[in-house]
């Protein structure tokens, strides 16, 4: 169980499935809207690295535009930051070789 407070809302996140090194699924509920979304993250080997795919669904389904509007900027920021970290590591590694 994780309790996340960002901005004006609080999200309670519960891990409902855990497959180490393969996938995990969480149930996420916000206090201000009562919207529940399920997130499954899957890790797959890919050409010397790892492919990460995130699947999302929400209840009620009509809340999807709200969930997407909230999560998309977070995912985009996380993706940009991950690229920065990986590029910095690659630069350090190439310098050592």
Provide the whole-model pTM: 0.73
3-state secondary structure of 34: coil
Cα–Cα distances in angstroms (integers) from residue 4 to residues 11, 28, 41, 44, in the given order: 5, 10, 18, 27
Tokens of 62: 């009509």
Domain enclosing residue 24, as ranges? 2-96
Alpha helices per DSSP H over the chain: 64-96
Q: Along the 97 residues of the chain, how does pLDDT read in single tens digits?
A: 776 766 677 888 999 999 999 999 999 988 777 788 899 999 999 998 899 999 999 888 888 888 888 788 988 998 899 899 989 988 877 766 5
């Amino acid at each position: 169980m994780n309790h996340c407070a960002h901005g004006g809302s609080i999200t309670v996140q519960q891990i409902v499935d855990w497959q180490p090194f393969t996938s995990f699924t969480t149930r996420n509920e916000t206090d201000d809207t009562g919207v529940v979304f399920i997130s499954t993250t899957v890790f797959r080997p890919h050409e010397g690295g790892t492919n990460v795919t995130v699947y999302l669904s929400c209840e009620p389904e009509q809340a999807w535009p709200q969930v997407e509007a909230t999560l998309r900027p977070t995912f985009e920021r996380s993706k940009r930051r991950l690229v920065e970290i990986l590029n910095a590591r690659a630069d350090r590694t190439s310098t050592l070789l």
